[in-house]
Amino acid sequence: MTKSRDAILRALDHLKELILGYEDLVKLLFVAALTKGSILIEGPPGTGKTTAAKLFAELFGGTFKRIQMTPDLLPSDIVGSYYFDVKRGEWVLRKGPIFANVVLIDELNRAPPRTQSALLEAMQERQVTIDGTTHRLPEVFLVIATQMPTGAEGTYPLTPVLLDRFPYYYVTKYFNDERVEEAIVLKAEEIEDYNQRERDTFSLELLEEASKEVSRVYVSDKVLRYIVRLVLFLRNREEVLVPPSPRASIWLYRGSRALAYLEGLDYVVPDHVKWLARYVLPHRVHLKPEYQAEGVKPLDLVELAIKSVEVPK
């Protein structure tokens, strides 16, 4: 095992001890970091969305910024703006919080569409344009966004275009297990006193090295074909109004390699694709109104795809 993979796995185990009941979310956060892909976490208040994102972000040795979205927030509040420095006699760029290695965007759908759209260029191109000038974002750049359930009071729905920019999507919920709830109450005290024990062992340099190792994980032609067939199955369904774009196939491919890496393998198997499909595909599938009225959910179609598409031997 390489030094970088060892550091990643120790950090993953450490975070699992702090974030109870969400082992899949913890794993998905690391998949996102290893593939340099952003993640959207949706759920009702008090389900640990912000806590999980913040604890994960603090594992990095780089810069961390948090943006609390509000209805009056402007795009310039995120990307930054130029101001005239009287002493220097010139226009100077005041960089916004988007210029960080890890950006936590809390309650994304509380911001109006114009402000939400400020993230599109940053997430896709890793750059922002301010007054016609393009500025590169850090090489290591990860957005962790949270949002209230769709349709909640005081929220603006995210457009399919913006949702498609998020490679990964996870839904949190309230727990009905007494033991889990009790453990969460006790763990909250530990999180309050959390110190950065793991911070020195999970630097940006190690993350970069691990990302390069992930890119060398082998994906066979059969597994690649399986990924594409899952996406095409959804794209051709009668219930679908807006089908998943090629980004769905791309991130299934990339994420599966990262998942295999976290499990100590140097090759991808179909089970990696199946697990990840539930977090890459549902938010990219937008149903026709009549099927929504019948109670059909995007995840239902994803599960149907997993059951229907032949698994390579």
Q: What is the pLDDT of residue 123?
A: 87
Percent of the chain with pLDDT over 90: 51
- The sheet with strand 142-147 has its strands ordered as 64-68, 102-106, 142-147, 39-42, 168-171
Q: What is the pLDDT of residue 278?
A: 97
Q: Residue for token digits 């956060």? A: 29
pLDDT digits (tens, 9 = 90+) for 81-139: 988 888 888 888 899 999 998 898 999 999 988 888 888 888 888 899 888 889 999 88
Task: Work out the mean pLDDT of the chain and round it to a whole number.
Answer: 88
Mean local confidence (pLDDT), 59-85: 87
Side-chain half-sphere exposure of 198, counting CA atoms within 13 A: 22
Contacts for 84 with CB less than 8 Å, ≥ 6 apart: 90, 91, 92
pLDDT exceeds 80 at position 311: yes
Q: Which long-range contacts (CB under 8 A, 24 or more apart) does 90-98 make?
A: 93/130, 93/135, 95/135, 96/128, 97/65, 97/66, 97/67, 98/65, 98/67, 98/122, 98/128, 98/137
pLDDT exceeds 50 at position 221: yes
Of the candidates 93, 38, 56, 46, which has an alpha carbon nearest to the alpha carbon of residue 280?
38
Across the strands, what pairs with 66? 104
Mean local confidence (pLDDT), 256-264: 96
10 Å CB burial of residue 85 (0-12, 13-18, 19+) is exposed
Domains of the chain, start order: 1-72+100-195 (3.40.50.300), 215-313 (1.10.8.80)
pLDDT digits (tens, 9 = 90+) for 162-217: 999 999 999 988 888 788 777 777 777 667 665 544 444 467 888 889 999 999 99
Question: Which one is predicted more confidently, 60 or 278?
Answer: 278
Cα–Cα distances (Å) from 35 to 95, 210, 276, in that order, read 25, 10, 13
Question: Which DSSP state fits 20?
Answer: T
pLDDT exceeds 90 at position 53: no
Phi and psi at 45, nearest 5°, equal -60, 145
- Whether the CB-CB separation of 60 and 165 falls below 8 Å is answered with no
Q: What is the pLDDT of residue 96?
A: 92
Q: Which two tokens stand for residue 262?
A: 């976290």
pLDDT digits (tens, 9 = 90+) for 7-33: 888 888 888 888 888 889 999 999 999
Ramachandran area for residue 306 (φ above 0: left; ψ -120 to 50: alpha; else beta): alpha
Phi and psi at 226, nearest 5°, equal -65, -40
Q: What is the pLDDT of residue 200?
A: 44
Going 69 to 72 to 76 to 81, the CA torsion angle's sign is negative
Q: What is the pLDDT of residue 272?
A: 97
Look up the pTM and report it. 0.89
Pairing of strands 168-171, 39-42: parallel
Q: What is the pLDDT of residue 195?
A: 53
Q: What is the pLDDT of residue 192?
A: 66
- Whether the CB-CB separation of 217 and 257 falls below 8 Å is answered with yes
pLDDT exceeds 80 at position 151: no
Mean local confidence (pLDDT), 254-280: 96
Q: What is the pLDDT of residue 193?
A: 63
Q: What is the pLDDT of residue 198?
A: 43
Q: What is the pLDDT of residue 248?
A: 96
Q: Count of CB atoms within 10 A of residue 15's CB?
A: 23
